[in-house]
Amino acid sequence: MATPDLMTKTNGNSPIPRPAQTERRGSRRCKINQLMRIRPSDPERDHFEDLRGSASVSRSGVYFQTSEKGYEVGLRLFVTMPYSNTPSALNREYLAEVVRVDALSNGLTGVGIKLLMEMGMQHSYSFTPSYK
């Protein structure tokens, strides 16, 4: 007896093809909770600073949940990831764009961002010169 193909179902006599789902992501996602600092890159926009943990991460994007209401598709952001405020931390900052905004049943908003380019390393310490 032949085993049915994983891509088909049978109705007793002949296989019925399943509709194929198209994967739109360019790379696989991993469920990683990594702290991020997120803020708008446009100085004309209302400023906010959002500290959030990621829900899933890929090579070119991040998805997270937030209570911040300032996100909309097309918004450009500065994203520091992973983020730490310890004095010796080396944080990476990226320019990103919001590509998805979901109203979630838990009252939060799901936000998907695409990482456009790395801005460079960011130090979390502040330098204040001492004058004598």
The domain spans of the chain are: 27-123
Contacts of 127 (CB under 8 A, 6+ apart): none
Question: Rounded to whole angstroms, how far apart are CA atoms 85 and 49?
Answer: 14
* pLDDT, greater one: 4 or 12: 12
Question: Rounded to whole angstroms, how far apart are CA atoms 51 and 34?
Answer: 10
pLDDT of residue 78: 96
Q: Are 50 and 15 in contact (CB under 8 A)?
A: no
CATH code of the domain made up of 27-123:
2.30.110.10
Q: What is the pLDDT of residues 80-120, one digit of tens each?
A: 998 988 888 888 899 999 999 999 999 999 999 999 999 87
8: phi then psi, degrees, rounded to nearest 5: -135, 155
Question: Rounded to whole angstroms, how far apart are CA atoms 126 and 86?
Answer: 11
Q: What is the pLDDT of residues 79-90, one digit of tens each?
A: 999 898 888 888
